[in-house]
Amino acid sequence: MKAIIAEKPSVAREIAQLLNANERKDGYLEGNGYCVTWALGHLASLGMPEDYGIRGFDKASLPIFPDPFLLIPRTIKKQNNKGYQPDPSAVKQLRIIKNVIDQCDSIIVATDAGREGELIFRYIYHYLQCKKPFERLWISSLTEKAIQEGFKKLQPGSAFDGLYEAAKTRSEADWLVGINATQALSIAANEDVYSLGRVQTPTLALICKRFEDHQNFTKKKYFKIQLKHRKEYLDFTSQSNEQWDDKKQTEQILKSIEREGKATVEDVSVKTIQEQSPLLFDLTELQKEANRKLGLSADEVLQTAQSLYEKRFITYPRTGSKYIPADLWAEIPELVRILNTVDQFKPAISTIKFGNFNKKMVNDLKVTDHHGLLVTTKIPSALTAKEKAIYDMIAYRLLESLSENCSKQVSHITFKVYHYEFSIKGSKILHKGWRAIKGILSEHNANNKNNDSTYNNHNVEETLIELPEIKIGDELKISRADLQEKTTQPPKLYSEADLLSAMENAGRSIEDKEAQKAILNIGIGTPATRASIIETLLSRNYIIRKSKALVPTEKGLKVFDLVKDQKIANIQMTAEWEMALDKIEKGELNSKQFITHIKDYTKEITKELLSLSIHKENIPELKCPKCQQQHLIIKDKIIKCPDEQCNWMQFRNVCGVQLSTQEITSLINNRKTTLIKNMKAKNGKKFSAYIVLKEDHQAIFEFPDH
């Protein structure tokens, strides 16, 4: 009998059905010589400080270096929020897996084929102190064909020891840094809990730095001149290359240009450019595109893609590659034929040439654990709106990747009036190529590459306009000249798409050119973890979503202010770690050596954080409005009475607005706040109201008289 351990029940059912192991038992399926069971995510995880006998936050215990690390069943918060207890569902499933393993001779590992999937199985294996041999099922798709092929090519478990070593090292390094840094800063902050982490803190630093740059930016007015021309029945405009700060000076220049009435063509450049077809999506690129086009969060995209994968409609989503291996190329025409049976895709497919597909996506060297995202041969049915939107994006991207390049003729013309230069840049499409797939012929302002620039106005934008035949020396009549008043723009607040790009390209912000060169393509976090990092920052109340932007809260800015000059917020350090973990996976670096380095780093940051002098917020002593006995506990998320019999509580975040200390004081002492503006109703509309305590001590809104 062989045990098979999948990551989720839905995947276990797919595998069991294929193997005719259809007899249902408690927590597993049996038949045909197999017992198929499943994990429920991370069932076993690293123990917490209390598991090593360290209770509470104790300065003398820091830094904490477990040796060895203990594995415990997954924990959940106790109902009274005081400490943690084992998760009953995890304890039960671990017992079931032990029972399955005990009655089998060997194990087939069928958790997700990646770093996290490997860690999920190995932690279960070691927690149960199992010694039985195991093989690895490594697949990128849950289609029947892919699973069958995977079972024919089962690999020895030892082939993935490097992957496990990297996953285990990452897990232990995150524990060492996260637990010690969190406790050190919380002790320095007089027991206010401030969670810090290896990836979350540099990511928070990115968001806060951008927010502060945005807030501190001083807008400046400047002026440009736009000219209108007409030739051969075509109207077009040119814009001054220069900009002026003084309005009067610009008006004088405008008048002299109007008097001149004509512009002389100085330079004409006409080039044919090839716009390369895009590659397949990797997870980060899919998340960025879906955030820009559909407004979905990175986590929503990951969960939706995971659901499509488990329903067998797409390949494994947690991929960091945009390429496919050469041996998969033969299957691509079949995927296109399948899509061609769906009416929606027929017009797009009619624009690409069978037998002459673009092979740019094929590159064995650039395929990591998994290849770029593909649809499967299973035609989707019964999809949610989100699933359909993500599936369509992946399907259309495949078709775009297979298409020819888009060919454009780009014209750049420079005119002169006196010594003032004016430019116009236009383009016309000669061959649509991949742009015919969705019919989007221009990315006009869609992906502004200059978000970080305060002056992105120097670039004369390329527009899809056809210009008349113009040659050097031609004189063009000016039909109209206009003064344009413009304003310099601050750096844009991060959307999730922009933040994912910043995390992916974190190496580029490093000033040390040698270090930058070494880690240019190593970001912070991995494609599989970046969404969870953003969600962690949201759940910690360090950031909030405001429209499409990610904005730090008061608490987030306070943490940033405390740690921005400390090593824990250093992007370079985090990016270097990702590079080291990659080397551990490939067997090029010893994990013990790396953990020794992490312990040294942990000692440094613990010392740095404990030495911080933190100004404690002046929190007033307020009596509970209900029992009138206890002083209220005021946290960043809630205000509550410590008496469990009384149990009075009020959330600090009301309709998207965080109640300040003054507003809380007013609510408790006067039973009414001042007027709170810009609260957001469920329908998205903003409103202003007072928050008032009723006689039963519950809070209600009171609206101002208009």
Residues 16 and 130 in one domain: yes
Residue 554 domain boundaries: 180-215+499-610
% residues pLDDT > 70 (the chain)? 93
The CATH number that applies at residue 81 is 3.40.50.140
Q: What CA–CA distance (Å, rounded) separates 412 from 425?
A: 4
Query: Looking at the domain assignment, is residue 115 inside a domain?
Result: yes
The whole-number pLDDT of residue 704 equals: 86
Tokens of 442: 């221009």
> Do the domain assignments include residue 190?
yes
Q: How many domains does one find in the chain?
A: 5
Residue with the larger pLDDT of the pair 152 and 523:
152
pLDDT at 22 over 50: yes
Predicted local distance difference test score (pLDDT) of residue 612: 82
DSSP 273-315: EEEPPP----HHHHHHHHHHHH---HHHHHHHHHHHHHTTSB-
The set of residues, in sequence order, having a beta carbon less than 8 Å from that of 634 and lying 6+ positions away, is 619, 622, 661, 664
Render pLDDT for 636-679 as a digit per residue (tens, 0 to 9). Answer: 778 889 888 888 999 888 887 888 888 888 998 899 999 988 88
For 653, residues 6+ apart whose C-beta sits below 8 A from its C-beta are 541, 637, 659
Residues 7, 137: Cα–Cα separation, whole Å: 12
- Shared domain for 376 and 439, answered yes or no, is no
| C-alpha span between 392 and 302 (Å, rounded) | 15
Higher per-residue pLDDT: 180 or 231: 180
Query: Which band of pLDDT confidence, cut at 50, 70 and 90, is reported for residue 143?
Result: confident
Q: Where are the beta strands (DSSP E) in 298-391?
A: none
Single out the residue of 89, 90, 93, 112 nearest to residue 101, CA to CA: 93
Same-domain status, 652 and 571: no
For the chain, helix, strand, coil in percent to 5 are 40, 20, 40
Residue 331 sits in the same domain as residue 384: yes
Q: Which residue has the higher pLDDT, 57 or 202?
A: 202
Secondary structure (3-state) at 362: strand
Overall average pLDDT of the 457-483 stretch:
76
The catalytically annotated residue of 125, 316, 542, 601 is 316
- What is the distance between the alpha carbons of residues 5 and 12, in angstroms, rounded to a whole number? 7
Confidence band for 617, pLDDT divided at 50, 70 and 90: low
One domain, residues 10 and 136: yes
pLDDT of residue 167: 95
Number of H helices, E strands in the chain: 19, 28
Question: Do 311 and 393 share a domain, yes or no?
Answer: yes
Q: Is the peptide bond before 278 cis (omega within 30 degrees of 0)?
A: no
Rounded to an integer, what distance in angstroms lies between the CA atom of residue 348 and that of residue 340? 9
- On whether residue 158 sits in a domain, the answer given is no
Q: Which helix (H) or strand (E) holds 409?
A: strand 406-417
CA proximity to 433, closest of 410, 408, 409, 464: 408
Is 128 found in the same domain as 228? no
- Does residue 207 lie within any of the structural domains? yes
Whether 618 is in a domain gets the answer: no
Q: How many CA atoms lie within 13 A of 528 on its CB side?
A: 18
| CATH number of domain containing 233 | 2.70.20.10
DSSP state of 570: -
Q: What are the pLDDT digits (tens) for 411-436?
A: 999 999 999 999 998 888 999 999 99
CA-CA distance, 395 to 335, in Å (whole number)?
9
The stretch 548-577 carries a mean pLDDT of 88
Whose tokens are 């990128």? That residue is 140
Query: Residue 516 pLDDT > 70, yes or no?
Result: no
Angle between helix axes 298-310 and 530-539 (nearest 10 degrees) is 130
How far is Cα 339 from Cα 347, in angstroms, rounded to an integer? Answer: 11
Claim to verify: residue 263 and residue 379 sit in the same structural domain: no
Average pLDDT taken over every residue of the chain: 89
Looking up residue 595, the CATH number of its domain turns out to be 1.10.460.10
164 labelled catalytic: no
Domain contains 165 = no
> 396 and 416 in one domain?
no
**Residue 449 — very low, low, confident or very high, per pLDDT cuts 50/70/90?**
very low
Residues 603 and 640 in one domain: no
What is the DSSP-derived secondary structure letter of residue 102? Answer: H
Same domain, yes or no, for 103 and 245?
A: no
For residue 194, count other CB atoms closer than 10 A to its CB: 24
The residue from 561, 595, 610 where one domain ends is: 610
How far apart are alpha carbons 653 and 631 in whole angstroms? 20
Residues 63 and 97 in one domain: yes
Of 33-42, 203-212, 687-696, give the lowest mean pLDDT range.
687-696
Helix (H) or strand (E) holding 86: strand 84-86
What does the pLDDT average to over 556-567?
Answer: 89
- Name residue, tokens 């029940």: 9
Say if residue 66 is preceded by a cis peptide, omega within 30 of 0.
Answer: no
Q: Which of 95, 112, 413, 67 is nearest to 237 (CA)?
A: 413
CB 105 within 8 A of CB 113: no
291-332, pLDDT tens digit by residue?
Answer: 999 999 999 999 999 999 999 999 999 998 999 999 899 999
Q: Which amino acid is at 553?
A: T
* Gyration radius of the chain's alpha carbons: 30
Select from 579, 595, 610 the last residue of a domain: 610
* Residue found under tokens 């992957």: 163
